[in-house]
Amino acid sequence: MLLCDHVYLLPDGSELVARNTSTGDSCLCDPARGVASAPRYLVNCSGRLLSWERWVALTVNDLRDTGKVLEPEMSRLEML
């Protein structure tokens, strides 16, 4: 499964950061926008990606971990 705060590369070249949801699932967000933005994808327990209530042809197997890890959102907010 996806590791929270890790940046993943999609096949189209865009980078998204994995975050945990309140339901225990994962979502993929634009790292430049932070938690204030709507997730671009939700990831279910079987690794399928959902975008705007539609399944897409991507799964977590199509993503590549870039090795980048962002600081957790709460830590960044505490520094402000």
Domain boundaries, given as residue ranges, for the chain: 6-78
Inter-residue contact 42 to 27 (CB < 8 Å): yes
Q: Tell me the C-alpha distance between 55 and 51, whole Å.
A: 6
pTM for this predicted structure:
0.81
Label residue 43 exposed, middle or buried (CB < 10 Å: 0-12, 13-18, 19+): buried
Percent of the chain at pLDDT exceeding 70: 85
The Cα–Cα gap between 55 and 33 comes to: 23
Q: How high is the pLDDT of residue 34?
A: 65
pLDDT of residue 53: 85
Contact 49, 41 (CB under 8 A): yes
Q: How confident is the model at residue 43 (pLDDT cuts 50, 70, 90)?
A: very high
